[in-house]
Amino acid sequence: MSTPARRRLMRDFKRLQEDPPAGVSGAPTDNNIMVWNAVIFGPHDTPFEDGTFKLTIEFTEEYPNKPPTVRFVSKMFHPNVYADGSICLDILQNRWSPTYDVSAILTSIQSLLDEPNPNSPANNIAAQMYQENVREYEKKVKVVVEESWIYIGDLQVS
Amino acid sequence: MAEADSGFNYDPTKNYDDQICAQQRDIEKQITDEQSLVSNILSFDVLKTEYQDDQVFQNKIQDIKSRYKHMRKTRGDGNCFFRAFGFAYLEHLLKDDSDFPRFKEVASKSKDELVSLGFPQFTIEDFHDTFMEVIDKVGNKISYEEFFQLYTDQGISDYFVVYLRLIVSGHLQKEEDFFMNFVEGGRTVKEFCNQEVEPMHKESDHIHITALTAALGVTIRVEYMDRGDSDKCNQHDFPDGSKPDIFLLYRPGHYDILYP
């Protein structure tokens, strides 16, 4: 059945393939256009460099009028990412605009990695460390970068 | 102690966003179940029943009744101004197409204007396509029943509303020097658009109406039915001094359609 959400997701996918933004990729899962898997590569010259972070994106029939739910599946250490992988990012909540597509969502999350917003912390330890002890913060980030390589599909939430 | 009494212990490591969203979804679902996007034609008796024990509103309903024949309600989902505007104006064009060629030209040009203002072409196109499809159908003189069905299809109707929001956002940004004087809270016009205009379900104010009527060259009269002392509703024409194409009824937080 073609609904506006599904039609739009097909367009988003086509655009992502034809005009892929640097450092992110995403595709619908095999049997469900409403659930996507995505990968964000840690941006160069940041502590997240070389990380290959996996995410899931779940859309509702209200997309693009409502934002999808985006979660990191790979373990993440970041001031704006909760322990369950969900992300505190204004454009995914109250500042969502229907003009965003999957490409814009993923590049925004990619920018968030190196530009955290310590004022709305989802992970207090990470937020505090980011402000008070950058070296320790970077060490912790390095650990999740390395863990992102050996991810083998364990969905268990720590 | 207070926390224990309320039975709720805030855990700062937990993510409450999902719960808040779920609660919001429940409220939205209730509204969706109870109110149609746009109602059939109604008599003012429905308002009288709503404000049974309220003399201020009863007087004002009487005033409206003396000047208008009937009304149509829209769903109270935060999009009511845009939804009412789109319905009332397209219905107006179905009855009187003298303004159609002008409106169609403004509507089709609007996409390139938005793109030149920096809106992403890819997504703008998606909304603009649907927007123009609806307008073309009205231009092809579909029947009222077909129009009603088209405009109350949630997917199509929401796309139409989104595009009207984008037009408002574009106009506010284009005329930033003027509108920056009306933006509250120390925000830039761009921030205001990101927070109060583009997201669905954000309610509309004077500034949205001013921008939309200016951008599309459509005129509106709004009748304000509020707690003010007068026995009559205040009215305001957008733009000032124009002859209105369509008529809307404002009650605090909500817009419906009026028919003279």
B18 contacts on A by Cβ (under 8 Å): 86
* DSSP per position, B101-137: HHHHHHHHHHHHHHHHTT--HHHHHHHHHHHHHHHHH
Query: What residue has token string 């969905």?
Result: A155
Could you tell me the pTM of the whole model?
0.85
As a whole number, mean pLDDT of residues B227-241 equals: 92
**Which chain A residue has the Cα nearest residue B13?**
A123
pLDDT of res. B4: 45
The string of pLDDT tens digits covering residues A97-106 is 999 999 999 9
d(CA A8, CA A64): 8
What domains can you pick out in chain A, each with its CATH number? Answer: 4-151 (3.10.110.10)
Cα distances from A25 to residues A55, A102, A127, in angstroms, run 10, 9, 27
pLDDT for residue B119 is more than 60: yes
Top residue of A82, A97, A105 to mutate, by most chain B CBs within 10 Å, is A97
pLDDT for residue A153 is more than 70: no
As a whole number, mean pLDDT of residues B227-245 equals: 92
The interface predicted TM-score (ipTM) is: 0.75
Mean pLDDT estimate for chain A: 90
As a whole number, mean pLDDT of residues B26-31 equals: 77
pLDDT of res. A151: 55
**Which chain B residue has the Cα nearest residue A19?**
B122
pLDDT for residue A155 is more than 60: no
pLDDT grade, residue A120 (50/70/90)?
confident
Closest by Cβ to A99, choosing from B13, B120, B130: B120
pLDDT of res. B23: 79
- Give the count of beta carbons closer than 10 Å to the beta carbon of residue A111: 11
Record: contact B162-A98, CB cut-off 8 A: yes
pLDDT for residue A76 is more than 80: yes
d(CA B38, CA B251): 16
As a whole number, mean pLDDT of residues B178-205 equals: 92
What domains can you pick out in chain B, each with its CATH number? Answer: 51-259 (1.20.1300.20)
pLDDT for residue B215 is more than 60: yes
A64 contacts on B by Cβ (under 8 Å): 123, 126, 162
How distant is the Cα of B83 from the closest Cα of chain A, in angstroms?
Answer: 14
pLDDT for residue B1 is more than 50: no
pLDDT of res. B33: 76
Record: contact B199-A122, CB cut-off 8 A: no
